């Protein structure tokens, strides 16, 4: 008990120290790797509970495989400014978990009767017990969470997903080959009956990542499935959370570079969003992943429109922030490319740059909010040849609001130029190369 009180004090301190280190665009988390995002709307904000991939180190985790020691939680009110609330649960602080296993896989979190219940799969330290689903309980969505001393009895598998129906009944769904479902007791810590296999899903290529939600009386079971080579996101529907389900469509196509895809779907302020992951910050190793968000839309008949993954992501970016135009909405076919800022692979979290090296090459970043009376634009740039950039609004042939001369040189500099009159409001931002044959841009910001 004494130890727990000390733990709570430390966690509270960490909560106070929480910081903004995340971004508006995809990937949204750039101070660490993150995967398997379960998004939930709590207290009027979006909370994301992802897995936390880390690179294996000697004696810590299996090289070439998933390595996860703990969980962080992130929150945002505008889906643009994200706060990292720090570690909420660690393999080193849960009684029953093997602290040498580094297998804290995909989690979920649910609110019930004034408490937040965080569910996570992990390997057990007890011999003969393979693993289980743990629960940690908190008064707040960001912790501190107190882990239960034992995993949930009578349930196995990975990737717990909690669904609460309109009648208040909570269910826990887990994956192990197929999916199984069990009703949770009101205490959210025990199951009512033995888990039941969910029916109607593909018999091959189904391993993990179930996520259930309900809309207009339709129960959607969404899940990753290997139809071809890597996981694509699919969904099946039913009129009952216990099934049977009918496979109905694909939400996101497979991607060759990242074998896994794991997701969640929420409605926030009347818009649906798909949270998923990709290996943006680790292109050569797909087990160090990063969380992304894109908007999701339904057809009139309740079927889901396919989501194309984007760099731009969601939300409106404030013009006075450092706008990472390399997370673009559109770009010219020729002469514009994206690269990591540093060739040093240990500096991936520094992010990306846009390289303009073709006449009139351009990039477009949508949905930037311009307050009235912004006077100048700052661009962090570097150029091997010297060149001129034009800043336009709305579309490629939209009004030019600024022109910047970038001097030839090896160093990165912040270059300023005045901004001409514009209409306050949301605009797409376009940056175009007007002279020179090499200009590189880190970010653009208005003052």
Pairing of strands 336-340, 271-278: unpaired
Number of residues engaging ligand FUB in binding (CB under 6 A) = 12
The answer to whether residues 30 and 351 touch, using CB atoms and an 8 Å cutoff, is yes
Q: Smallest gap, in angstroms, from Cβ of residue 232 to ligand FUB? A: 13
Closer CB to ligand FUB, 120 or 328, in the complex:
120
Residue 124, CA atoms < 13 Å, CB-side half-sphere: 18
Of the candidates 232, 260, 264, 336, which one interacts with ligand FUB according to CB under 6 A? Answer: 260
Active site residue 300: no
Could you give the CA distance from residue 160 to residue 181 in angstroms, rounded to a whole number?
A: 10
Q: Smallest gap, in angstroms, from Cβ of residue 208 to ligand FUB? A: 4
Element (H, E) at 371: none
Closer CB to ligand FUB, 52 or 93, in the complex:
52
Closer CB to ligand FUB, 234 or 326, in the complex:
234
The two tokens of residue 53 are: 């991939």
Q: Smallest gap, in angstroms, from Cβ of residue 125 to ligand FUB? A: 20
Contact call for residue 66 and ligand FUB (CB under 6 A):
yes
Contacts of 220 (CB under 8 A, 6+ apart): 212, 213, 214, 235, 236, 237, 265, 304
Q: Smallest gap, in angstroms, from Cβ of residue 106 to ligand FUB? A: 4
Could you give the CA distance from residue 243 to residue 246 in angstroms, rounded to a whole number?
A: 9
Q: Smallest gap, in angstroms, from Cβ of residue 159 to ligand FUB? A: 5
The answer to whether residues 303 and 247 touch, using CB atoms and an 8 Å cutoff, is no
Closer CB to ligand FUB, 51 or 222, in the complex:
51
The two tokens of residue 42 are: 């709590």
> Of 208, 234, 286, 440, which one is the catalytic site residue?
208
The DSSP symbol for 101 reads -
How large is the C-alpha radius of gyration of the chain? 23
CA angle (11, 136, 97) in 5-degree steps: 95
Of the candidates 25, 51, 76, 354, which one interacts with ligand FUB according to CB under 6 A? Answer: 51
CA distances from 415 to 97, 103, 325, 358, 405 (A): 53, 46, 16, 21, 8
Element (H, E) at 277: strand 271-278
Active site residue 208: yes
Closer CB to ligand FUB, 108 or 442, in the complex:
108
Contact call for residue 91 and ligand FUB (CB under 6 A):
no
Closer CB to ligand FUB, 51 or 329, in the complex:
51
Give the per-residue contact string, 364-403, with ligand FUB (x = CB under 6 A; - = no): ----------------------------------------
Considering only residues 94 to 133 of the shown chain, the ones binding ligand FUB according to CB under 6 A are 105-106
Contact call for residue 262 and ligand FUB (CB under 6 A):
yes
Could you give the CA distance from residue 386 to residue 127 in angstroms, rounded to a whole number?
A: 66
Q: Smallest gap, in angstroms, from Cβ of residue 312 to ligand FUB? A: 23
Contact call for residue 35 and ligand FUB (CB under 6 A):
yes
Considering only residues 191 to 210 of the shown chain, the ones binding ligand FUB according to CB under 6 A are 208-209
Residues in the chain: 447
Of the candidates 28, 109, 158, 406, which one interacts with ligand FUB according to CB under 6 A? Answer: 158
Cα-flanking dihedrals φ and ψ of residue 2, to 5°? -60, -45
Q: Smallest gap, in angstroms, from Cβ of residue 120 to ligand FUB? A: 10
Positions that interact with ligand FUB (CB under 6 A): 35-36, 51, 66, 105-106, 158-159, 208-209, 260, 262
Q: What residues are labeled active site?
A: 36, 208
């Amino acid at each position: 008990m004494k130890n727990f009180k000390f733990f709570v004090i430390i966690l509270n301190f960490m909560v106070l120290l929480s910081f903004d280190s995340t971004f508006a665009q995809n990937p949204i988390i750039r101070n660490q790797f993150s995967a398997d995002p379960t998004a939930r709307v709590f207290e009027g904000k979006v909370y994301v509970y992802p897995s936390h991939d880390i690179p294996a180190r000697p004696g810590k985790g299996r090289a070439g495989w998933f390595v996860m020691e703990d969980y962080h939680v992130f929150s945002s009110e505008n889906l643009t400014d994200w706060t990292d609330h720090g570690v909420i649960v660690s393999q080193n602080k849960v009684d029953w978990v093997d602290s040498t296993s580094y297998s804290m896989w995909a989690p979920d979190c649910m609110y019930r009767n004034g408490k937040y219940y965080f569910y996570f799969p992990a390997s057990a330290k007890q011999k003969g017990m393979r693993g289980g689903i743990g629960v940690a309980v908190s008064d707040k969505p960001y912790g501190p969470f107190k882990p239960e001393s034992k995993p949930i009895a009578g349930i196995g598998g990975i990737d717990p997903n909690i669904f609460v129906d309109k009648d208040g009944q909570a269910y826990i769904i887990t994956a192990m080959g197929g999916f199984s479902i069990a009703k949770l007791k009101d205490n959210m810590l025990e199951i009512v009956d033995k888990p039941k296999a969910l029916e109607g899903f593909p018999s091959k290529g189904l391993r993990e990542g179930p996520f259930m939600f309900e809309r207009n009386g339709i129960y959607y079971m969404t899940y990753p499935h290997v139809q071809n080579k890597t996981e694509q996101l699919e969904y099946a529907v039913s009129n009952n959370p216990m099934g049977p389900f009918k496979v109905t469509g694909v939400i996101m196509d497979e991607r060759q570079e990242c074998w896994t895809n794991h997701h969640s779907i929420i409605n926030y302020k009347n818009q649906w969003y798909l949270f998923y992951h990709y290996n943006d910050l680790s292109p050569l190793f797909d087990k160090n992943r990063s969380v992304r968000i894109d908007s999701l839309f339904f057809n009139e008949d309740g079927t889901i429109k396919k989501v194309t993954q984007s760099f731009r992501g969601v939300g409106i970016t404030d013009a006075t922030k450092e706008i990472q135009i390399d997370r673009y909405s559109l770009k010219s076919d020729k002469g514009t490319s994206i690269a990591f800022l540093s060739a040093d692979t240990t500096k991936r979290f520094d992010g990306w740059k846009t390289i303009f090296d073709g006449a009139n090459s351009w990039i477009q970043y949508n949905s930037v909010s311009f307050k009235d009376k912004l006077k100048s634009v700052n661009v962090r740039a570097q150029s091997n040849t010297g060149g001129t950039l034009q800043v336009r609004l709305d579309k490629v042939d939209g009004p030019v609001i600024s022109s910047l001369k970038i001097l030839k040189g090896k160093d990165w500099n912040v270059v300023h130029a005045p901004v001409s009159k514009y209409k306050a409001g949301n605009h797409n931002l376009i940056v175009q190369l007007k002279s020179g044959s090499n200009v590189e841009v880190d970010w653009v910001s208005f003052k």
